[in-house]
Every structure is written in structure tokens, then in C-alpha cells.
Structure 1
Amino acid sequence: MTAPRSGTGRRAALVPAFLLALAVLAGCASVPDSSPVQVLRQVGGSEDALVPPGPVAGSNPLDLVRDFVFASGSSTERHGAARRFLSADAAGWDDAAGLTVLDGQFDTVPAPGAASPSSDTTTIRIRGTAIGRLTSSGAFEPGQATFQQDVTVVRRDGQWRISSLPPGVVVPLSVFRDNYKPVRVWFVDPVRRLAVVDVRHVPSLPARAQAARVMELLLAGPSGALAGAAVSLFPPGAQLRANVTTADDGAVVVDLTRLGDLDESSRMLLAAQVVLSLSEVNVGRVRLLADGEPLIPDREDLTREDVAALSAEVEPGADVPGLVVAGGRVRQLSGPEPSAPLPGPLGNGAYDVRSAASTVDGSRLAAVAGVGGRQELLLGAIDAGDVEPVPLSAGTMTRPSWTPTGGEVWTVLDSSVVARVLVDDNAPPRTGRVNADELAGHGPIEDLRLSRDGVRVVAVVGGGLYTGAVARTLDGEVAIRNVRRLRSDDLGAVVAADWRSTESIVAITRSPEMLVGQVSIDGLVAQQIVSNNLTAPLTAIAAAANRPLWVTDQTGVWSFGGGEQVAWRQVLAGAPDAVPLYPG
């Protein structure tokens, strides 16, 4: 969701776009980026790319390098627009060696020790803050850090050109978002056998090439962020038998070969990968073939609706109420009786409940309760008159989190041990551990939430916001892998986080510059959410797709739905200890 920003920040990324201006200072060309930080999801559009202009006659070295960086956003014809800024000496520039995205603003300044511009050769430094890299597979890998890069410029026939530069491309975020489109490419959870999302970024133009690019990404397999957690149903060696084309009746034709001997369920999952992924680039109907014959017998053409049931995405239904833990009791926070306690011991005060979580379907509840100076985990049906203690006890437990099926609930014991409880209607709960060494290596785990497709976690570790993949083996081992920190400089000290969607996370922080923020799963997008009428510090947050955000401040629980809403609305007063929760 896009929300207005409030306050001022140390980065131009937190300043409204209409306040930005280009400033050319003596000896320094500073280029502010625009705000809010947001990736455009433009679909289709004109096939005629707006090619950035070439070098301006008479440009000084600083302006030349600045304009080169802007032109580098267009990848058409191997960054043909940017290559017009190069001399013949730099014709071998390796533009395929990765793309670095800069946040906020960047400067072009003379490099230390550079020759005077009065000479015919000098060195210009590009400096700014990098937020990460786009790999050759279109995956964005976060990594916020100071950036600087030196390029050599020469004067030939009175005009400056770049004669030497490092491999790879450097672009500010505003340029990147104008030239690349985020696409959800789909792979498979090998245990549940359902399709899951892997976010990639493909050039926006030419739009006609996007379907072919998506197929390349599918054939190459999941990105590093999902390694061990997702697989592809494309066997090794599978490839396109012919180029992706559009038939006369409008169907996009994808003809595959070397698929081997796939059973019926594997063929349907492979079809789901293709159809769901191509729907992201405006392909409504896919004619999916294997060696010229329909991949799914008697189903020559497939649409998103045909494979939607194979998506692992699960969201709570509109009839499943949100809850809140306040004053030691679990209460309704939405639904027909807001703030009414739940029936049974978790709502009547029999236990000192500290936090809770309900399954996506709203049928089962897990609660952390204080018992004799320790904390214990309790399980029960929401409408049941009793609960069942789980053989877990710790000094502290994080708010529980359920897997999509409701078969497991996770919590973190004493900020270090990630525990999971296997829940079965026909057997007592069984406890197990999750190998979270990679996550715990960054510090104490203060909050952890499973994504609603079950293949990722978001966690607050040592005040930082981290994501990881849930890697499962068929023999039941579970580990958190591929841990990455998101937007360390922008977010500062994070308090708690939750999933807004499978691609978006919301978090509360101690930073007045971004008290409530939303971050994309890969860390590319960071947006400040309005917080003008909240009373810091904030202590809890809950989110779900198509539901208002809930946060707890020093006066109670507040709701924000975006859209035309310009301030938070209080939904529960006098409850600074409240912990709101949506199913999941």
C-alpha cells in the first residue's frame, strides 16, 4: 500500500518529489532522487522506449558522468544510450556484470588527486548510498552501504567522454523504477507441492519481450533468496522448442521440449509456474505445449483461473475476525463484538495471556501466557472451553506464528531458540526445533513471523529487519536459510514486523523518521507510512492483505487503511500493552 510520508529525513528519498531540484555546485554535481520510494508496475505501454538523450555538447566532466548514470537505466541494445557517453577506449565496458541501485541522491565530484579539468584527462568519482544489486537473473539482493566509484574521462576534439570505468551499471532508484518492472515468478514448495512467489525485475521496454524474459527466468530456476525452499518443476535441460509467440487468436504460445517423463500432478504444477508467471506481464491465455502437443491433455489453452488453486498464497477470509491480547485476555478487535473477550480460559482471565495467534481459517488459537515467572505456550480451538499446554517453557516467548495449513505453530524461546510445535487433531502436540543458527548469528531474535505462503520468515534480530527462507526436507528437518538484512540505514532500530503480503513487510521502529514503514521482500522499496497522530514508542503491529494496519502506541490500538485516510483511528483505548493480531 502507498501511504503519504510525514516528517523530514536525512535522505531525499523521504522528501516529496515536487521539492526535488537538480543542484550543480562548484566542483560537485548532486542529483537528488524522488519520493516516495516505489517501484512502478507499468504494464505494456508504448513499444517506443524513451531513449535518454546523449551527451550534451560542451558538458563538463561532472555533468557528463552524471548524465551517463541517468542514461544507464535504459538496458536497450546493451545500454546503447549510455554507450554514447563512452570513448572508443571504453568500448569493452562490461554492462552485464550486475547493476547497483543507489538510494536518495548521488554526487559526481573530482576524485582525490584527479588532474585539473584544464588538462585533457581527469577522474570523476560517483558517490552515494547503495541499497543493493540487481543480478543477471533479475533478482535484487539488498545491501545498504556507502558507494563510490571512479571513472576516467578524456577530452577529444573539445568534448569530454568516459574512457575507463569499472564493470557493471550504476543507477539511482528513480531511474531504475522507470526502466524495470517487478514480476512475480513462480516456483514450487517441494513439500507442499504448491506454487510460491519469487520476485524478479525485468526491463519495462520493449514490453513485447517480457514474456520471453519471464520464460528465461523460469528455466533458470529460483533465485538465491529461495534456494533450498523452492524448486522448479522444469527438469534439467528443459528448454523452449521455439521462440515465445502470439497466435492469431491472441494466445501466447509456449512450446517446451526435453521435459522428460512428468506425471500428471507435476505437469499441472509446471503449468501453474508458467501461467501464473506470464500473467504478471499481461498474458491472459497461454497455449502451453510440450514438443508441439498440449502439455495438459485436452487443455490446449490455460488461464490464471485454471491454476489458481495451486498457489500457496493463503489470506484470511473477510469473515475471520482479527483479535487483540489486552489486559491478559484475548478479545475480538474486529467483527460483530469489538473488544469482547473470547469464550473460555483465554478470554475469561484464567490465564495471563501475553500474545497470541490464530490459524488462517480462524479455528485454532496459540497463546503465550505468563505462569509463575515463566512463559508457556497454550493451544486450543477458538470456541473451545479449554486449552492444552505445550511442553515448552522459557523466560520469554515471541508472539506465535502459524504455518498456512495450521499444522505448525512457531515461537522463539529466550530470543535464541526457534521452536515449532506440530499440531494434529489425532495426536498430542509434538515439539521440535528449527535450525536458525544463521539468523541467531546476527543477535537476539526479538520477533519472528512466518509468511502466509509458508516459505519465508521475517524477523527482528538485534534491532534489524531480516528475511530468510524456510528450507524443509522430506524427512522433516527445517532450517532458516539465505538470511538478509533489509534497509538498515532507513529503518534504524526495528521493534516488530508483520507480513502485509507475500512481497511486502510492515515494521515499527524507534526512528522518528520512519516510525511505521513498509519494505518490499527484497529490500528494494522502502516507504514511510503516515504516523503523525501516534504516540511513540510503538510496541506491536499486525497486518494482512486487504485489511487495515494495526499498531499499538502508548494510548492503545490504532488502525490505518490507507486510501483517503490521512491519520490513524483509535480502535481500542487505554491499552498500551495490547498485542493485535490477524490470522496467520
Structure 2
Amino acid sequence: MGAERRRYGHGRATRGWAVFACSGVLLAGCASMPDSGDVEQVKATKGADSQVRVYAVPPRDGARPDEIVDGFLEAMTSDDPSFATARKYLTKQESKEWRPDSLTTVLTEAPESEAPASEARSGEEADSLTYALSGELIATVDRHAYKSVVPTQYGGSLRLVRQSGPDGKGKEWRIASAPRGLVLGESDFLRNYLPVNKYYWASGQNTVVADPVYIRQRQDPVTRMDPVAQTVSALFEGPARWLTPVVDSPFPTGAGLKKGVTSLTPDDQNVLKVPLNDKASNVGGAVCKRMATQLLLTLRDLASPRVEQVELQRSDRSPLCVLTSDQADAYALERPSSDNVYFVDRDSRMAVVGASKAKSVDTSMVRGPFGNGQLKVGTVAVARSLHRAASVSQDGKSLYVASIVSDEALPDPLVQSGAPLVKDRLSAPSWDRNDLWVADRDPAKPRLLRFADGQGEAQEVKVDGLDGARIESMRVSADGVRMALLLSKDGKNTLKIGRIERRAEAGGELTVSVVDLQAAAPRLETVTALSWAGPSRLVVVGKEAGGVQQVRYIETDGSLTPAGGLPGLNKVSAVAATEDEEQYLVAVSDDGLVRLVPNANWQTMIEKGSSPVYPG
């Protein structure tokens, strides 16, 4: 959605500088003007360009009811402080009660308003009119958290009344009842809001988990906070409810920014000083360091210039603790040190190719039983250590784990499927930072299996909310907290995200379950392949209703990235990505094993290959 939207790969958000324009719908003129830049007429919701700024315009004297409705809907899309101009369309009582920050309702397009059927006849005489609002609902945003829904019909209303004008003479139409919060078309939402990853600690772990949220692109109209201060405040509010059971945060109850702080900017040494309130001013050194780690990882790609050091301050502005970017990196999930892509070659052997920027590619077989022909390999997954891999045999029956850096005999399988058909046997395996996962699709005994550290006995994992659907494939996030599940039911494939919960039972036994499945791509009619592509982002192969197959990025909260559509590719059957933004996207199509080169099109790497994966 423009310069401020994001740079894909570097976390979830990147700041830029806006060039402002002015817009007014049905009402002429601008409430205020920018100091520089071109002025152009802009219709809201006709393109998510973050460099365009909409300025609200107050109602004119004697405005017709339809002008009041249109003006208010337009004013909701602006950055007007406290939404003061939007409130001029409301009665005094409704202005007091309206809370634009309580909820944001996102529609595919700006809401359509429909006048009462009797308006033409009674508009001059009636003292009350109700306009119906309609559109296609795709998401709501509550406490910064975006929740996508299967597109459904939205129904709202604006009730207008005639009241005495400001001078006590005549009557003016004003809105006496409005929908809760803001109602925006998707492009207006994306023009005004910026996606950011907050970070919290994985429960009981020394690594962090991304919690995606949306904040205002510019100064928040209600709090008057700039984007950095908004993000810090949102971090203090705690994780999304969905994520809360599997993450921890050391922030004391009531902790937050010092009262009155609305702007945070790194100094010329790229140090960001964050003054805290009294509730956070007396934490110990270890707790302060963990708080600072969360702040630095959250802000590193949001502020401009990039934050290299965070100093948390007490309410009296004295230093509480200091943390550098290098220190914070120690707690971020370690990325594999290899840029290699692994795949299965035409002879059903596991091979590796360097995903370098060179035009030529060098392919070699991995060592051990997966590369020397001892096993007819079907699908593969590589542990983050780069020393071991998991492979499901070509017939889908058996799962093995073996070294790929040394020669050894083929070990016994960890598990075997008893399904008679290949398509009903084991799915492709998946590693998180420690454990190995695979789904057995046997109709007689469907199950999700976990192998601690990729070895030993299989642990069957309960998955809540399948509702009769079958797990066709799954990918576990590197942090081990979330699982992306490709589910099939009634001939359709859908993508859902589940939360992985681990509970220690009496006697020390660990119970693992996948719960609270959430639709990750409700606007896609079908999804056929997926891969994690960052801490809160997936790359998927799918299509919308009536559309064609496409490869695109989506967020785990279900929001479609505006520039996430990628160049077309024929009949894609698999896709592989990594959290490292420098690495290529790799896919399998009619053209073979292909890679997507930045600012170019897909290029063939290997004429015939399958099951591409990056480590992890």
C-alpha cells in the first residue's frame, strides 16, 4: 500500500515519509492544506496509497441528509485530531457517546448508504430519517488485533434527526445514532493503518513470538501518539487474547509510558529513550532487560532511523536499563546459517542447491541414506541444525530421520501408515526449532504426530475444532507456538492456524495439543500449498472464488498483504520460503523447480524436482 506499508521480509512494518493530498466527496474544499506537494482530488477507497492523506470537511449550512451521511463516512477515513470534523456531523449527545477507537469494521469497499424509500416525499417535513449501510464485511480490528472473517453481508445504519442550528435559527440534519467505532473500506483502512509485529516470550522459553497488530500510519487521532509511541503502548497492553495462553510478558500490571508521552524518536546515535510510568519504574534488572528486548525487537523495523539501542527510564527520567540490538538478537529465533534449498530430484533422491544470486546453480546429493539411493524419497524436511533431515518415503508409508552430512545406513522408520492408498498416508513432515511433526491421513485412523527432538516414540497430538476435516498438510512455525494446517472437507481445502499448547501433567508427562483453529485465508476459496515466510507471515498457493490460481503472501491474522500478489506461475504444486528476506521464494510448477528473483520474474533452477524446503 505504498512506502509506509512494509518492506516484505524485514519483520512486519517499515516506516516511510508521506506526501499528502486532499480529498472531499460531495463537499468542496479542504479543511486544511499541507505545506508542500501536489493537491489532487482523491476518492476514498479507490486505492490503498499511504502517500495520500484525506482531510475531513465539515457540513455546510443547510446540508441535505445524503450530504450529512456521505460527509460523515468520508470524515471517518481521515486523520483529523479526535475526529473533530466527523463529530460535527453528529448531535451533541451522539458526539459524547461515539468512540471511534472502540472498534474498526473493515469492508471490501466503503460502506454504501441507502436513503429511506420515502425520503423524496418526506425529506423536507420529517424530523427523523434512517439510512441503511451495507457492504461486504471482511474483518474487525479490536485492541489493534485484526480478525478476518469469511466475507459476509454487513448491515448498519445512521439515524438522522433535524435539530436547531448553531445560531438557534432554522434546522440542520445531524446523526443521532451511528455504528460502533469506525466503518472503513479496505483500501481506506490500509491507507490509515500500518501492520506491526509485537514480540512476547514463548512460555517457559528464551525466545520470542510475533503478535501481529495494526496501528495508525501517522499520528493517532484519539491518543495523539506517533506510530512508535502507539506501538510501545500496544506492547504494554499485552498479547492478543488468542496468543495469551502460550506466551509470557514481564511487564507489571498497569505498566506503560509515562503520562503525556506521545512521541518517541531515536536520537542521532539511534538510541531510543522510553520513559515509563510508576508501575514500571521499579522492576529488577533482569526483568527490565526482558522488557527492553521486547521493545527493541518490536521497534527495530518501525522507527526511522532504525533503533540500535533502547534505554528504559524511570518516571523521573533516570535510566532503568539499557539494551543493544546485538543483545536483543540473542533472544530472537536463530536463523539457520545456510541459504541452501533442499528438494527431491527426478531419481527420488534428496538433493541440495544453493539459493545464491548467481544465475547458474550447482546441485549435489546430500550424504546419507536420503541422498545415496537407499530410500526412494517422497517429501523432506530439514532440521534447523542442518545436520538431520526427515523424509517420508515415496509410497507415503514410512517416516525416517537420518543424517544428511555423514554416511550411515537407513534407520528403522519412526512411524508407518496403514492406509491402503498413497494419498491417504503420511503428509510431508515439518520441523519446529526442536521437534518433528507429521500427519497420518489414514481414514481409519487419522492422527497428528509429534516426535520430541525428532526421535523416539510418536506422541499423538489432539487437534480441537477439525469438525470432520482432514489434515492434508501442515507447517509448524519456527517458534513452535503456531501451526498452519491445510484442511480438506467436502472437496475443498481451507487454511487454518492453530495454537500449540504444551502442558506438564502430574508425573512430568508433557501433553501437547493444537487448539482454537482460526481461519487464516477466509477470502481464498481454496488453498493448495503453503510455507512460513516470516514470524507472522505465510506464502500460500490458492485462489479466490471465480479467480485463477495465484501465489501470494498473507498474514497469520488473515489480512491479505496489498502488494502480496506475486508474478503468475502455472500449476504450482509446492512452495518454500524462509524468514530470511534475502532468500528467494522457491516453487514447483510446470516449469520445474523455480525461484523468484527480486524485481524480476520466476526463473527455472532445476527442470524436474519436487518437495522444495528451506531448513527449519
TM-score computed with the length of structure 1 as normaliser: 0.80
Q: Does residue 505 of the first structure (1) align with residue 538 of the second (2)?
A: yes
Q: CA deviation at 1:366?
A: 0.7
What is the alpha-carbon distance in structure 1 between the residues aligned to residue 25 and residue 362 of structure 2? 53
The structure showing larger relative contact order (alpha-carbon pairs under 8 Å, at least 6 residues apart) is: 1
Q: Does residue 414 of the first structure (1) align with residue 420 of the second (2)?
A: no
Match of 1:198?
A: 211
Q: What amino acid does structure 1 have at the position aligned with 2:585?
A: L
**1:78-477 superposed matches below 5 A:** 78-88=82-92, 90-91=94-95, 92-104=97-109, 106-110=111-115, 116=121, 118-119=123-124, 120=126, 121-135=128-142, 137-144=143-150, 145-155=152-162, 157=170, 160-206=173-219, 208-240=225-257, 243-244=260-261, 251-258=272-279, 265-279=286-300, 280-282=302-304, 284=307, 285-290=309-314, 294-296=319-321, 301-312=322-333, 314-317=334-337, 319-327=338-346, 328-334=348-354, 338-370=362-394, 375-386=397-408, 387-394=410-417, 395=419, 396-404=425-433, 407-414=434-441, 416-423=446-453, 429-438=456-465, 440-441=466-467, 443-462=469-488, 463-473=493-503, 476-477=510-511
Cα distance change of structure 1 residues 418 and 257 upon mapping to structure 2, 3 Å threshold:
farther
Q: CA deviation at 1:277?
A: 2.9
Range that drifts further, 205-214 or 447-456: 205-214
Cα distance change of structure 1 residues 249 and 211 upon mapping to structure 2, 3 Å threshold:
closer
Q: Equivalent pairs: percent with the same residue?
A: 22
Q: CA deviation at 1:109?
A: 2.3
Range that drifts further, 197-206 or 507-516: 507-516
CA shift digits 1:481-512 (9 cap, x unpaired)? 342113323x2111111111112211112554
What is the alpha-carbon distance in structure 2 between the residues aligned to residue 125 and residue 200 of structure 1? 30
What is the alpha-carbon distance in structure 2 between the residues aligned to residue 148 and residue 256 of structure 1? 42
What is the alpha-carbon distance in structure 2 between the residues aligned to residue 453 and residue 276 of structure 1? 15
The SS at the match of 1:471 is: strand
Cα distance change of structure 1 residues 114 and 340 upon mapping to structure 2, 3 Å threshold:
farther
Match of 1:12?
A: none
Q: What amino acid does structure 2 have at the position aligned with 1:377?
A: L
What is the alpha-carbon distance in structure 1 between the residues aligned to residue 361 and residue 604 of structure 2? 16
Q: CA deviation at 1:568?
A: 2.0
Whether contact under 8 Å (1:376, 1:389) holds in the other structure is no
CA shift digits 1:364-393 (9 cap, x unpaired)? 11111145xx52111112123234334322
Q: What amino acid does structure 2 have at the position aligned with 1:134?
A: V
Q: What amino acid does structure 1 have at the position aligned with 2:177?
A: S
Range that drifts further, 252-261 or 466-475: 252-261
Cα distance change of structure 1 residues 262 and 189 upon mapping to structure 2, 3 Å threshold:
farther
Whether contact under 8 Å (1:472, 1:479) holds in the other structure is yes
Q: CA deviation at 1:477?
A: 2.8
C-alpha RMSD of the superposition: 3.5
Whether contact under 8 Å (1:221, 1:231) holds in the other structure is no
Q: CA deviation at 1:170?
A: 0.5
Q: What amino acid does structure 2 have at the position aligned with 1:302?
A: L
What is the alpha-carbon distance in structure 2 between the residues aligned to residue 263 and residue 256 of structure 1? 15
CA shift digits 1:183-226 (9 cap, x unpaired)? 22221112222222212222233275444433332332111231
Give unmatched runs, 5+ long, in structure 2. 3-22, 27-42, 164-169, 420-424
Cα distance change of structure 1 residues 50 and 509 upon mapping to structure 2, 3 Å threshold:
closer
Give unmatched runs, 5+ long, in structure 1. 3-20, 25-30
Whether contact under 8 Å (2:273, 2:313) holds in the other structure is no
Whether contact under 8 Å (2:526, 2:543) holds in the other structure is yes
Whether contact under 8 Å (1:212, 1:243) holds in the other structure is no
Q: CA deviation at 1:134?
A: 0.9
Q: CA deviation at 1:526?
A: 3.9
Q: CA deviation at 1:552?
A: 1.7
What is the alpha-carbon distance in structure 2 between the residues aligned to residue 468 and residue 101 of structure 1? 24
Match of 1:10?
A: none
The SS at the match of 2:605 is: strand
Whether contact under 8 Å (1:111, 1:124) holds in the other structure is yes
Q: CA deviation at 1:105?
A: 5.1
The SS at the match of 2:479 is: coil
The SS at the match of 1:129 is: strand
Q: What amino acid does structure 2 have at the position aligned with 1:149?
A: G
Q: What amino acid does structure 2 have at the position aligned with 1:583?
A: P
TM-score computed with the length of structure 2 as normaliser: 0.76
Whether contact under 8 Å (1:329, 1:348) holds in the other structure is yes
Match of 2:6?
A: none
Match of 1:560?
A: 596
Cα distance change of structure 1 residues 86 and 260 upon mapping to structure 2, 3 Å threshold:
closer
Q: What amino acid does structure 1 have at the position aligned with 2:453?
A: V
What is the alpha-carbon distance in structure 2 between the residues aligned to residue 344 and residue 272 of structure 1? 40
CA shift digits 1:332-364 (9 cap, x unpaired)? 233586443323321233222211111234221
What is the alpha-carbon distance in structure 2 between the residues aligned to residue 429 and residue 572 of structure 1? 35
Q: What amino acid does structure 1 have at the position aligned with 2:149?
A: G
